[in-house]
Structure 1
């Protein structure tokens, strides 16, 4: 009898574990995609100096250098594209570059504050 009650409690708890995991993952996804604390106005100056030649002044991926690039630079104006990029994704690609593309890393150029500012500006382009 004791074993049966213990097994039932174990079964009831295990039934809800997948739901708890899903809730935790959804919560983490929202936390990760929340807009950071960067200053978009400061980020604009860095974007124009380092990013606009490929990504375009307005972030559409059609900068003067983009014609020669394959794959094309990311279109930061696209809500669909930006909705799939977390701030962590953007940080990684800006700092380390993007494999198999012309996107080089800026990890030695941008400070952590500069990085947050650039991401804030990039996020503002799709709004």
Structure 2
């Protein structure tokens, strides 16, 4: 019962704005070195990674046309670590970790909590998705 009430409070809480412009800034500061300026996986550090960087512009395409919000959030904040990043991604590690106080909805309508920097970065990644 308490969990249900907490979830209702979460869903009733005012939505925090996603700011893709701030997310773009985070991307260029923390992600472009490996993922490239346009998110195509061709950053200057890509050649030395054990696992090639993901083409971030194709996340929706690779997921049946739906942006995988929960998977992306968890990969960025370290809840779903990737070996190539050293878990969490070593370039920025702690910057995207921390309080999970901003609710986001997944395409299935399920809420996921993230930090504001992650929410903003996800907003930017959603903007750069290629459409087949």
Q: Which TM-score bucket, shorter chain as reference?
A: 0.5 to 0.7
Query: Residues 103 and 118 of structure 1: is their aligned pair in 2 closer, same or farther, counting only changes over 3 Å?
Result: farther
Closer/same/farther in 2, CA of residues 73 and 98 from structure 1, 3 Å limit: farther
Which secondary structure does the structure 1 equivalent of 2:81 belong to? coil
In structure 2, the residue matched to 1:118 is 121
- The aligned counterpart of 1:11 is none
| RMSD value, Cα | 2.4
In 1, the alpha carbon distance for the partners of 2:56 and 2:82 equals 18
What residue number does 1:101 align with? 84
1:81 matched to 2:62? The reply is yes
Q: Counting strand residues as a fraction of each chain, which structure ranks higher? A: 2
Q: 5+ residue gaps in structure 1?
A: 1-35
How far residue 93 of structure 1 moved from its aligned partner, in angstroms, is 0.4
Residues 103 and 116 of structure 1, relative CA distance in 2, 3 Å threshold: farther
Q: Return the TM-score normalized by structure 1.
A: 0.62
1:90: which partner in 2? 72
**Pairwise CA distance, 1:108:** 2.5
1:48 to 28, 33, 56: 28
Contiguous gaps of at least 5 residues in structure 2? 1-15, 99-114
Structure 1 contact 76–123 (Cα < 8 Å) conserved: no
Are the aligned partners of 1:55 and 1:66 in contact in 2 as well (CA < 8 Å)? yes
